[in-house]
Amino acid sequence: MSAIIKDHVLSLLSKGVRLDGRGLEDYREVSIEYGISPKSAEGSARVKIGDTEVVAGVKVEMGAPFPDKPGEGSIMVNVELLPMASPEFESGPPSIDSIELSRVTDRVLRESGVIDFKKLCIREGEKVWLLLIDIYPINDGGNLYDAAYLAALAALKNMKFPEVVEDKIQWGKLTKKGLDMKELPMSCTIIKIGNYFLVDPTEEEFILLDSRLSVGVLKNGSLCALQKGGEKSLNIEDIEKMISLAVEKTGLLRKAFEK
Amino acid sequence: MSYTKRFDGRKFDELRQMSAKVGVVSKARGSAMFTIGKTIAIAAVHGPRELYPSFLQDPEKGVLRCNYNMLAFSGGGERVRPGPSRRSKEISMITQKALLPVIDLKAFPGRVVDIFIELVQTDAGTRCAGISAASLALADAGIPMKDMVSAVAVGRIADKVVLDVNKEEEDYPDGMADIPIAIANRTGEITLLQADGEFTLDELKQAIELAKKGCAKIKEVQIAALKEKYMNGGGEE
């Protein structure tokens, strides 16, 4: 079954067209909505890319720092592939797909310097802020990698610290203090089917991919994270092509974010 | 002690502002978002589809499965731990029981209809909002039903019986009774009834009357949402 579809997709790609009529390097429309759960979450956002929809929320927690980083707070990133979002997703413990998605998203946020972990310190060696970021696809129309990352970043941009009285968080009472975002890293995943490179894959294309590369890109064009996926290998030319495509497309994502 | 004015200024028999939309999850067969006050529920229906393990299949009739879940950031306090809890499992079960009486299971023998309910933001009344959203999503999915189920929580606060309690009322300092009720509107049958707190039989009767009135209004919002999708945007108020 999927072999037949793949032949069809490849023959279309050879003519420069995709199943949904887009060109190989065409990105669908991206929209971001902030504060979708303002009563409950300290920060929240909804991202739509085509008919893909992902929501993300930030809850804060006060806790002890890690022993090796007594002056730094931390983040936790969790993606749950809700069975609501696709008939392919099942209830139960996190699948390896959701774990990989969580970790790739986490890595870009953590390694890019977007969050100043020192500023999350309340009392060195004693108390720090932990930012708990939960990301949920509501509708899987593909490209969950880019959408999940963008939703997490948007929820962080939307977040405000709550009031604290005698080391107790006053839930529901937010201060005006948000997160200082020093960098604006973006993440873009490029997929390879046959000899073709595609951006912003639909869920069908994502199933058919031979390999993929997620690329974290800083404002100045430097890279901050990579993840290769898929069953087939890549050579250096592939990687160069995929990275330059990813860097180009993060421009568009950054624009949507800064709008 | 008298509860003379509601915290948010509503009349005692007044619902919070509502909105509803169907077809919000295109990958599902049917779906709906239902908002009441600050409580936001999304429900999506998958199936009828194959049911495994196969010993769960019933050749005579289909199976309805419901899953209620709060997104981790949707609580009023700390992050809600992901995964099922005793609370969410019970709510999933009573949601299924609230919907079963209106669904024709014989229409999909041997198969399963799955309903997933996700709470995006909570301000009390979440199981009721979930049921109202789920009923709407089932209709959107075209599952044969004989009635629309609507649900609302009624409260006894001091000397008053009030419609559609919010979190602030749920936390009323002198205690209160919380009575979630689901009603199949056409027949008026009650498909969900729970309560905690102290109340008299007379207050319960008042609560049910109030819930009936409230559910009739919720049903209007549900029907308008369906009309908006299926009648070329020609939905009525």
| CATH number of B38's domain | 3.30.230.70
Q: Which H/E stretch holds residue A213?
A: strand A211-217
Number of domains in chain A: 1
Which amino acid appears at position A101 of this protein? L
Which residue of chain A has the CA closest to B74? Answer: A40
In angstroms, the CA B175 to CA B187 distance is: 33
CA distance B218 to chain A (A): 22
**φ/ψ of residue B138, rounded to 5:** -65, -40
As given in the structure block, the two tokens for residue A234 are: 């890549």
Cα–Cα separations (whole angstroms), residue B220 to A104, A112, B216: 45, 50, 6
Within chain A, which residues score under 70 in pLDDT? Answer: 1
Number of domains in chain B: 1
Question: Which chain B positions have a beta carbon within 8 Å of A156's beta carbon?
Answer: none
Whether residues B74 and A132 touch (CB distance < 8 A) is answered with: no
Nearest to B15 by CA among B91, B129, B134, B130: B129
CATH of the domain at A32: 3.30.230.70
Q: What pLDDT, on the 0 to 100 scale, is given for residue B26?
A: 97
Is cis: bond before B48, omega within 30 of 0? yes
Residue B23 within any structural domain of the chain: yes
Whether residues B116 and A82 touch (CB distance < 8 A) is answered with: yes
Residue B12 within any structural domain of the chain: no
Q: What pLDDT, on the 0 to 100 scale, is given for residue A182?
A: 82
Within chain B, which residues score under 70 in pLDDT? Answer: 232-237
Please say whether the dihedral angle defined by the alpha carbons of residues A121, A160, A258 and A225, taken in this order, is positive or negative.
positive
Residue B147 within any structural domain of the chain: yes
Whether residues A55 and B120 touch (CB distance < 8 A) is answered with: yes
Question: Which chain B positions have a beta carbon within 8 Å of A36's beta carbon?
Answer: 120-121
Whether residues A87 and B122 touch (CB distance < 8 A) is answered with: no
- The ipTM is 0.94
Under 8 Å between Cβ of A40 and A57: yes
Whether residues B72 and A78 touch (CB distance < 8 A) is answered with: yes
Number of Cβ atoms within 10 Å of the Cβ of A248: 14
Whether residues A78 and B122 touch (CB distance < 8 A) is answered with: no
Question: Which chain B positions have a beta carbon within 8 Å of A91's beta carbon?
Answer: 67
In angstroms, the CA A50 to CA A30 distance is: 7
CB-CB: which of B26, B49, B83 is closest to A139? Answer: B26
Q: Residue ranges of the alpha helices (H) in chain A?
A: 2-14, 96-111, 144-158, 203-208, 236-258
Q: What pLDDT, on the 0 to 100 scale, is given for residue A1?
A: 55
Q: What pLDDT, on the 0 to 100 scale, is given for residue A57?
A: 98
The residue segments making up the domain with residue A70 are 2-258
Which 3 state secondary structure label does DSSP give A191? Answer: strand
Interface test with A, best of B71, B92, B140, B168 (most A CBs within 10 A): B71
Interface test with A, best of B78, B79, B81 (most A CBs within 10 A): B79
Residue B130 within any structural domain of the chain: yes
Residue B138 within any structural domain of the chain: yes
CA distance B57 to chain A (A): 18
In angstroms, the CA B164 to CA A229 distance is: 49
Whether residues B27 and A40 touch (CB distance < 8 A) is answered with: no
Nearest to B193 by CA among B148, B131, B146, B143: B131
Cα–Cα separations (whole angstroms), residue B82 to A133, B66, B125: 12, 17, 20
CA distance A227 to chain B (A): 26
Sequential DSSP letters for chain B? ----S-TT---TT-PPPEEEEE---TTSSEEEEEEETTEEEEEEEEEEEE-SSGGG--SSS-EEEEEEEE-TT-SSSSPPPSS--HHHHHHHHHHHHHHGGGB-GGGSTTEEEEEEEEEEE-SS-HHHHHHHHHHHHHHHHT--BSS-EEEEEEEEETTEEEES--HHHHT-TT-EEEEEEEEETTTTEEEEE--BS---HHHHHHHHHHHHHHHHHHHHHHHHHHHHHHTTT----
The residue segments making up the domain with residue B124 are 18-230
Which residue numbers of A have CB closer than 8 Å to B's CBs?
36-41, 44, 51, 53, 55, 57-59, 61, 78, 80, 82-87, 91, 93, 132, 134, 136, 138-141, 171-172, 203
Question: Which chain B positions have a beta carbon within 8 Å of A86's beta carbon?
Answer: 27
